[in-house]
Structure 1
């Protein structure tokens, strides 16, 4: 498909061994929005999981005056931008041929290992049938406008923001293909980011997604009361339920990958760069392989915390993608049959962060230290059982790690400096009960996202508009 006569092409990524083959139609049209003007052959792109906020809250100074009415509901305005970031944006726009014909980048919102994300104005928004814009589709349902407001908005050109995800050229074609394909399959939920379209120019691939207004997690996680935390967690688990129902593991659940708008009590799950489809029935095959080695390991271990001199066990390789501090125990123990429950564990760590008011709560530099951190909380006994579940052994001589560990309630009391005069409230105790079900070491007993939404902690709050209601409007 020509891009206004340019060499930029719209992508339907079909992966071969060493390259991305460009096909005319990305097959997104009709699902995320076909073109109103058939003569325009350019399209938007996908949305970057605005994952790792770089902390430099610099945006771009737009020379065009925009009234308040012109900002989309998902906009947080146009601000000043750092000179270094502006230079980076200018270089990006220059290198990607004719991109400025369709988008005006006004800021950088995130940067990660595999990509950078930019906030941009969609200059040709009104030329498309924007089915991906769920807020626009449901605006009349949520807040009907008066006749004067509708006439006013019809006369002014709406300013709509999108997120441009620039995928680094070091990413493999398979990784790019996987992310775009998963995003295409995940359309239709107001709690999960959708793919608008994607482009490639030479070796550079970009994806365009809706832009979502949100607040940096570090600015509010200590301030939210229990009712607000309930809204946050329900929104997160609603997103996980939608993703898991399609057999997809996100694999990198963390606060910076869940863009939350405190004023609306709604968040959007983003960044599917590490996501994959669930390919196993959840049965951990490493249990059987461990039984033959466990006795031998104990016999060869001469002291507590030692290890077999001639360990005959085969090395284990398993997907350990994710962010440190949020990896589930089965990931740390290299289970090769990981399920969607790893996302539930990560969501539980976020809840623990809220309750303890400590971020990050777990902050180990590697997987070994992460296991030790986990053992400090849960104790030796439970960690031995968990390790054995995945064909591993756990022993340590660290004296501060007790046999039984500590309850999560006690951990929260210590972290928040509670005493007899300031005990945990009934709401906090309810939150802790829910937390224990999400931070269950045995993934078979851990709540699923669907089960979590049925727990009293998430049901005893005001009703929300479900994804099904949104889809039928």
Structure 2
């Protein structure tokens, strides 16, 4: 069971988490605010394609009524239930810190293909942006991401796909948004969830060993894997070429004895395929990843913070709220320092 926010959904009315009951009706021209209705497709025009995923194609668009830029996410044919879940979660998280804003939901009258309309973020691809970051940038953006994670967890929701591709950063305006809530799910204690979530390099060990009773702490592993790649300048940090190889890559860093302790604690039986590929590995000290190229990012607090995230045992990982209180973020909590940074100074650590 989750160490925090375990009973959020239990304490909410069923309508909050029962996304199956979501019903989006035809556009209501009179009093549109009175119902969950499809918006008007003609209000939006596609400008250019900016991305695609397993479940959608994404375009930069424009609202032709107010000329505001937006993002149009055209959903590929998937189960209605999945679409309802994403919409319900985005509605529940509306207005939360650093959560991408859902502005409208529209659909093509012929094909019935639904599209989600989001706020536009002037994102720079992480592959070109992260190498330009200084130490303060890394602290600042990880802290901003933690705000989004603590908020969604406090609302009873696991993101389940935290990775650089889903973190939009407008660096000029110091703005971060956590996007793509298509795999997000409501947390109910004792529920067995699908382990086929998250992207390989950011999958927590619990997913790789088929432990289904996971919780919000899955997102904290993914954040830890992201953080490791940022401070050690190694993208991705755990680079497996299959799900089974991903666990091997993790074991080469965290050790196999520690892995077996974890499996024993939760009475998890490892798939037979690992018999031939796992081997025995000693735990590697974090300092062994320090090079002349990355040492300016790797303070003792950074190592301590990382160590408290990348734990096999999900119950040992910091929660998002605990993570925000870690000394690594002291420079961010210094009001004058942060203000100078927001005004364009590089930030002082």
Alignment-derived partner of residue 221 in structure 2: 345
> 2:56·2:76 contact (CA, 8 Å) conserved in 1?
yes
Alignment-derived partner of residue 126 in structure 2: 217
Corresponding residue to 1:183 among 76, 90, 95: 90
User: Where do residues 45-56 of structure 1 align in structure 2 (5 Å cutoff)?
Assistant: none
Alignment-derived partner of residue 106 in structure 1: 47
Aligned residue for 2:74, secondary structure, equals: strand
Alignment-derived partner of residue 116 in structure 1: 57
> 1:384·1:393 contact (CA, 8 Å) conserved in 2?
no
Alignment-derived partner of residue 362 in structure 1: 238
1:280–1:205 Cα change, 3 Å: same
Say whether 1:270 aligns with 2:179: yes
Cα deviation 1:431-451 (Å, max 9, x = unaligned)? 111111111211111000111
1:172: Cα distance to partner?
A: 0.7
Corresponding residue to 1:432 among 271, 279, 303: 303
Alignment-derived partner of residue 138 in structure 2: 229
> 1:363·1:370 contact (CA, 8 Å) conserved in 2?
yes
1:380: Cα distance to partner?
A: 1.3
Return the alpha-carbon distance in structure 2 between the equivalents of residues 109 and 216 of structure 1.
Answer: 11
Cα deviation 1:140-199 (Å, max 9, x = unaligned)? xxxxxxxxxxxxxxxxxxx41111110012x11011111011111110124001221212
Alignment-derived partner of residue 10 in structure 1: none
> 2:231·2:297 contact (CA, 8 Å) conserved in 1?
no
TM superposition score normalised by structure 1: 0.60
Q: Relative to total residues, which structure has the larger helix share, 1 or 2?
A: 2
Alignment-derived partner of residue 197 in structure 1: 104
Return the alpha-carbon distance in structure 2 between the equivalents of residues 423 and 342 of structure 1.
Answer: 27
1:423: Cα distance to partner?
A: 9.2
Return the alpha-carbon distance in structure 2 between the equivalents of residues 42 and 333 of structure 1.
Answer: 41
> 1:196·1:208 contact (CA, 8 Å) conserved in 2?
yes
Alignment-derived partner of residue 160 in structure 1: 68
Corresponding residue to 2:318 among 447, 451, 456: 447
1:438–1:114 Cα change, 3 Å: same
1:262–1:317 Cα change, 3 Å: closer
1:398–1:267 Cα change, 3 Å: same
> 1:20·1:173 contact (CA, 8 Å) conserved in 2?
no
CA RMSD, Structure 1 to Structure 2 (Å): 3.1
1:338: Cα distance to partner?
A: 0.8
Return the alpha-carbon distance in structure 1 between the equivalents of residues 154 and 46 of structure 2.
Answer: 35
1:181–1:237 Cα change, 3 Å: same
Which is worse superposed, 199-208 or 336-345? 199-208
TM superposition score normalised by structure 2: 0.80
> 1:325·1:362 contact (CA, 8 Å) conserved in 2?
yes
> 2:38·2:106 contact (CA, 8 Å) conserved in 1?
no
Aligned residue for 1:451, secondary structure, equals: helix
How many pairs are equivalent? 313
Alignment-derived partner of residue 239 in structure 1: 148
